[in-house]
Amino acid sequence: MRDPQTTLAVICKALSESIATGEFSAKGRLPSERALSEHFSTTRITLREALSQLEAEGLIYREVRRGWFVSPPRIIYNPLQRSHFHAMAKDQGRSAQTEVIDARQCAASAAVCQKLQLPPDSEVICIRRLRYIDGRPVLYVEHYLNALYFQGILDADLTSSLTDLYASRYDIHYGRVRFEMVPTLLTEEASRALRVASGSPALFITRTNRDQHDRVIDCDLEYWRYDALHIDVEVN
């Protein structure tokens, strides 16, 4: 009987080579697990171990009830560059899209109030959005805005850049920004939006933004697919 570890290595090597040679397109779906199991004459358990290994390497990803897909190139993200999501994608030859999940005024959590330097239980503007690169959902984000500075913003087109909207409608421009980045597991809400299993790994980025007058104006809670982002920072 073939050693399961040998089988695992063979499957990973074969699928990696198929991806590298373009047998599957950048948006291509892999054959079903059943078909792959039969092709490699292995069990579903061993096959899933191989697929999970390739997923951990960022070569493939899984969508709930849709199957396995080849991962597209990661989007390069430099926190030091002042560029919004759509411009960042365009500069890299990628296509970006933003979907508004909901937008409303609500009582902020204690953590958000602390970020925005507001008293406990303050009312803020909450905008939840799902952001796509080349048609693939890669970022679930919750924006929390100090309502004092953005009256009437809920009537605006929130699928566009908030950076541009701040500037054109309120004459507010970003000044200092604080970034916090930690690995995390996706919440159920974020998982559902990104079409992955609940508890999947992610990169959690918190951005706290000040304006040109050094006022804390908003904070963003960003949940990125771990296989969608490449952080690249150069400091002189």
What's the alpha-carbon Rg for the chain, to the nearest Å? 21
What whole-number distance in Å separates Cα of residue 108 and Cα of residue 119? 10
For domain 75-231, which CATH number applies: 3.40.1410.10, 1.10.150.120, 2.60.40.10, 3.30.70.360? 3.40.1410.10
- Whether residue 6 has pLDDT greater than 80: no
Q: Are 50 and 56 in contact (CB under 8 A)?
A: no
Return the residue matching tokens 């204690």: 110
The amino acid sitting at 166 is Y
What pLDDT score does 38 carry? 87
Q: Where in the chain is the domain with CATH 1.10.10.10?
A: 4-70
The two three-digit tokens of residue 39, written as one number: 């092709």
Q: For strands 75-77 and 229-231, give the pairing.
A: parallel
Check residues 226 and 24 and name the one with the higher pLDDT: 226
The ranges of the chain annotated as CATH 3.40.1410.10 are: 75-231
**What's the CA gap between 203 and 75, in Å, rounded?**
13
CATH of 4-70, one of 1.10.3720.10, 1.25.40.10, 1.10.10.10, 3.40.50.11540: 1.10.10.10
Helix, strand, coil tally for the chain in percent (to 5)? 30, 35, 35
What is the tens place of the pLDDT at every residue in 106-132? 999 999 999 999 999 999 999 999 999
Q: CA–CA distance from 223 to each of 5, 138, 185, 220 (Å)?
A: 34, 8, 9, 10
Task: Tell me, rounded to whole angstroms, the distance of Cα 112 from its chain centroid.
Answer: 20
Per residue in 80-111, pLDDT (tens digit) is: 777 789 999 999 999 999 999 999 999 999 99
Over residues 194-207, the pLDDT tens digits come to: 988 888 889 999 99
Do residues 211 and 146 lie in contact, with contact meaning Cβ atoms separated by under 8 Å?
no
